[in-house]
Structure formats: structure tokens, C-alpha cells
A and B are shown apart, each in its own frame.
Chain A
Amino acid sequence: MKKASMTRRLFLLSTGAAATGLIVGCSTAAAKGKGYSAIAGAFEPNSFIQITPDNKVIFYLPSSEMGQGILDGLTTLIAEELRVQPTAIDVRHASLHEDYKNPEMGMQATGGSNATRAQFLPLRQAAADTAAAIRNAAAKQLDQPLDKIVLADGQVMVEGKSYGFGDFVAVAALMPVPENSPLRSPKQFDQIGRERPRLDALSKSTGTAEFGIDAEVDNLYRAVVVRSPVLGATLQGFDASAALKRSGVVDVVKIKSGVAVVAQSYWQARQAAAVLELNWEKTELGSWSSDSIYNKFNETLNDSSQKGLECCDEGEGDKLLDQSATVVAADYYAPYLAHATMEPLNCTVEINGDACAIYLGTQNVQASAGAAVYYGDFDADKVKVHPAFLGGGFGRRGLGDDVAEAVLIAQKTGRNIQLVWSREDDMSNDFYRPAALVRMQAGVSEQGLIETWAVRRVGPNIMGYMLDEWVDALAPDYLNKGFVDWLSKLGRPIFNRFIADPSAGDGIYSDYDAPNKAVRHVTQDPGLRTGFWRSVGHSSNAFFKESFIDELAQSAGIDELDFRLANMKNNPRLTEATQLVAAKAGWGKTLPEGHFHGLATHSSFGSAVAQIAEVSIKGTQIIVHKVTAAIHCGMVVNPGIVRDQVEGGIIYGLTAALHGEITLVDGVIQQSNFHNYPMLRMADAPEVEVHIVESQEHPEGVGEPGLPPLAPAVANAVFKASGQRLRDLPLRLS
């Protein structure tokens, strides 16, 4: 590490995790009691598990369930060690409490595909200690030696007799809870690794799963907000007289982001919102359009006086580039993207005196609560979050912008309100996956080994925008608000000028062995806010890297699979996944006429994924027939869910690869709904086959790693099919 210690300190002060962790560390009082409400007579050994006298086992799920299957996965961990069937556990979404913080993030949040990895040992330990406590209590109560007490299938077995757990909760509650009880070994596992229907399938197949939008409280009014057509503009004035005359409308109020219309029903509020008249000030973003943004990126890419920030500098950097036998260079582009979760953002707020209850699906329970504290001026211990299922997350939910609006509306009107965003609100008020333009350069030896890997990347950063939301929501409430707001705005200049945003370099240089690497990122930001979009930097960087690897292999005259394997000798997980997918898809075999294979391999979130897309073209249409994938993600909790997540990543990635593009004209987002921001539909969905590399290593991420290799796998197949090397996303044949 060449960086000076000063930079390191600045880094610690400013990176998202560190900054929020630091602030959260100050803000949160010592954990008080358990994270749940007490139940009379229940055994309550920790904040995760409650066992009632009538044998009910309740598990408080610390991570948000947004489709990724974490409800199933973490419940399975509890079931394994507690010796109960997963289906017998009553799972509830945990509200805010110190004990539910993600151990890696230091924040009660769900993202970065880390929940299984981070909770794999702590939750099993909590369950194992609980099981040990039940055994101890049974031994004492029945006056039997401990080795005669066996837990199995939710029962306490003693000398051929069986008892319910509940028979011993009263005694267990009076005894110390054991610590560091031995965990079951992988050979003993009978729940972890077993494939069975996911636990939330029933409620989600009967319309009974409760999402945020399904919340109901007494005297609930519905609210919609009209925001600036150019994101971030300040309201100059508005005329609500026509809106106020509409039936059902009870209030029209100005809030931070725009003007809210409150009515008895959503439909009434939405109709009235259409007749509001608003004036917005002009902003800098209003002077940008997609063409001018691209041109500015391109100008910056070619302006060598702008050195940018270092993401990676290994060996001799790019100094020896020209000395290689073959030097290849190519520019690639990826556009802004919207998340488009199926459930539009919403938040329900109920205020009782100085107490505030908020109901929503959120990836960040802590930031959601914090937004209510910050914007609503509530005492932190007077805010109660009621988390629900998320109708998709993908990085969009949990920034606090939804809560801020809802709380402000509730306060200004003195009513309980449910704020519901329309699809149009969602599409034009996102935190977008940033666009990026990159120049890839590599020097390859005569033997086909990469000697130098050089990337110059231009585009906006993410972290500054995230900190702007999070610092407000997570700062201790004793800090002056003006100071907090000032602090929250520091992220952008820091990441624009001093420290490369981690997402800029994510995965763009790490998979291959090149001894010399230089990756630099030049910030160029028109001011459109950005955010974490499923797989974050990997979502575009894998496309750049893996398309370019094919270009290198082809210029060296080496098979694309062989070229990769020869250049990833220090990457055993990716090698295993690549070899598995090649065998399963039959790399090199004869395909139906007009069909071609494209390969891409990429590591992200601790896992390695390789994919082979089978593609044909018809005119200018790209048809993806099949995608075969292999994932190395360590130990697997439920293989069905791992396969589903990889397939889901492929479908999400294919929507982006073939259709995804957010464009601006004079700062106004041009996409509004699914007719002009289309989604992949069933008829266009390829057959997907997912294989899992057998492993006993610690579990790694699965929610995101399936996505990054998809676009380059398809692009590489398209090149074989058409001879056209498509270097811009979305993929369009000419």
C-alpha cells in the first residue's frame, strides 16, 4: 500500500461502512433488554429466539426478506442447532435493536449478499446455546444425567419419553444461559444443505404475505407526492386550489421533496395530484442530456491531464504496456439504470403524541428509523419500525427517502398516512446505477498470458449520494442538524476528489493474474443521484472485463475458455466454477445451426460464477436460448434457493443487457413505466440451468453474484453469431 497514513485516516472517516459505523457507534445506547416484547412465561435466552410454555418457537429474523430467501436460510440455521423442523418455527421480522445489527456491517441492514455469511456462526451459536439451556433445564427438572437428554424434532427425549420444549422453559429461565456450546458439524447437518420448499412460499402463494403497501392502521389517509421533473430541484411555489376542490382531498402540504396531496383514497390523491400547479427552480442537472453526458465522459476519457483516482496499482502499473507482444485497447460503456422493484416505494406512518410508528419493507431498518428521528424530530426510543416483506429490494429500499416524506406529511397534516409512490414516481426518483465509460487496455505475451492490465474509467460515484441519505438518518440525535446535514454532504467531494469510490473498481481487475495492473477512475458526475443496484460496480465492470477478455483471447488466437483458465491460476474458486460450467454446457460442442456459445466468469461478494449463454440472432434481434451457470459459494444452506438466486440474477441481468437504459433530456428522466423501461417477460426468458460446486467452505454471497457474468456471456455469444463486438449496453445489433 503506497498511500500515506493521512489518506488511510481520511478513508476510515469517509467510507460508507466506516463512517456509518462510527456514527452509529456513538448514537446507539447500550443494548437494553431483548429486541422483542416479552411473552409471559416464555424462555427468552437472546434477542433471536423465544420459546413459550405451549412449545411455540419464535425466531426474530434480523435480515430483510426481499426475495433472496434469507427468511428460509436463517431459519434453517436456527432449526439445525435447536433441533426443530424449520416449518415449525414462527418467524417474525425483527424491529430495531442493537442485537440485530448485521455483524459485518455494524448496522441493522441487508445488502451486499452477506447475510448468510455474516450470520452463519452467530445465529447457530444463539440456537445451540438455547438448545443447551433446554437440555440443562430438562436434566435438572427430571433429575437425569445430561447425557440422557436428547433434543430431536422439536422434542426433548429422555429415556424413551418425549416432552415439549415448553415443559422446561420455566426452569430454563431461572438458569444461566450457556455460552459457546458446541455447534453441529457439517457431517451431522440434517437441515443445512437440504432442499425443500422455501418457508415463505405458502404465504406468498395465497396473497397473505404482508408487504409494506398492505399496512393498515386506524384513520388512515393516503398520500402521494409530486416531485420535480428534474431530480433535486427546489420548489419555488405551487397552486393547490384546483387540487383542494377534488373529492376526498383533505390536505395539500409542501414537504422537502415536493408537494403532498392527502386524500381519503389513493385514487383520489393521485387524481388531485395531476391538477397541482408547481414551479421549480432550474438546477445544474437540468442542463444535461444523455448525449451531452456521454460526450463529456468521452472528452474526460481522452483528457490525459485528468489523472483521476487510483483503484489499483500493482507491479509496474501500466508502464510496461507497450512492451507486450500484443496490446489491445477498447472503450466500453454502460448506461444509468433504474431498480424497478415490483412494489413501488411506500411508507405508512402512525403518530400518537410523541410516538411514531412506521410500517414498510426496508433493507435498512436502522436508517428507516433514523430518517423518522431526523426528519420528524422524534426521540429515538419513540420510533417503532414494523418491518414487512419487501416486494423487491435490489439496493433501492432503505435509504430513508420514503420514510422522510411520509413522516413529514404525517406531521404536517396531523394524520395517519400511507404514502404510495406510483411507478412513474419510482422510475424518475431512483438512485440510479451509475453510467460509466471505460478504456480497457492489456498487454498479452506470446504465450497468451496477460502481462499488463490497465483501465481508465469515467463516471459518477455512488458513495457520496448514499452518505447524504445515511448520515442524516444515522447520526446521533444530540448532534446539531445543520452540522449533520453539512457532514452528510461531505461524501461527494471526498469521493469525487480524494478517494476512489470502491464501486468504481469492483471486480474490474481482481479475477486474473496479470502481474502489472493499473486502474484509475475519473469522477464525472452530471448530478443525477446514484445508488447500489444489484451487484453494484460489478454490474457494469464484469461486462467491461469479460467482454475484453474475449477480445484478448481472440486477438491471441486462443480459445476463450483456455485463455481464461491460463490467466486465473491464482483463482481456484473461479477456476472450479469455470470448469464445471464448461463441462455442463458442453463448451466446444456442436450446437444447433445459428446457435453460439458465449462464456463469462466473474467473482463477486465472495462467490465465483461462470456462465455460458447460448444465443442466436434474427435480423437485429438477439435471442438467448439458454444460460448454463456454475457457482462456487461455499457451503449451501438450501440449494434450491441458491439456484433460484442465480437464475434470478440472470433474468434481472438479461433485462438490463437487452433493454436497460435510463436516459435524460434536459435533466428529465425519459423513462416512466414498463412500456418505455421494458422488463424481460416469460416468452423471452431463456432456459436456465444452475450447477453448484460442492464445497465445505464458509458460505458466501448468492443474491448478487449471478448477475455480473450474464451481459458479457451474451455479448460474447453475439460476437460469435454476428461478428459485431457490442461494447455498449444495452446490447443492440446494427
Chain B
Amino acid sequence: MKIEFYIFLSIALFCIGIVGVLTRRNAIIVFMCIELMLNAVNLLLVAFSKMHHLAIAATNPTAGTDAQLFVFFIMVVAAAEVSVGLAIIVMMYRNVHSVDINFLNRLKH
């Protein structure tokens, strides 16, 4: 497949994630849309790694491997971020019994 199919698919997934972050009021759904955005970026990185590998495979046989390792590290960071973020959400729920972001917005009241 040509690379622009992957570019447009990744852009569409990313924008669906952004619409979810802007529109939903449940903090957990917002968090899930952030994971969706991260996955769109991962998909695009893997597609570019394969394109790069195909283009330069004659001179450098391991051309696109760095991008797939970068995707691996993005997954690592996403897993750590999810654990800490969900701990924060559970803690706030324990205090105010709501995960509505419009309610959590007014933190000082």
C-alpha cells in the first residue's frame, strides 16, 4: 500500500481521539481517547519504518528498525502513564465521588 493511505488513516484516528477528548465529560473516556491518539501515532511510525526500509534496503539492511523500537518505548511510557493516571482518578473519585471533568475542574471549591 502506498504510504499516504497509512498517513490518512493515522490522521483520522488521531482526530477521532481529539474529538473524544474535547467532547466527553467522563475522565476515563478522555483517558481512553488519549490512548487512541497514541496508537494512531504508533501505526504511522511502523508504516514509515517499513517505507524507509523498502527505500534503503540495498545499502542498509536494518534501516527502519529504530522506528519500531521507538513504538516499543511509546508503549512502555503509555503503560506507566495509564497506571499513574488511573491512580489519580481513583483518588479523586474517593474524595468527591465524581469523575465528571467539569466538576473536577473547580478543584479549589
A-B interaction: no
**Chain B interfacial positions (CB closer than 8 Å to A):** none
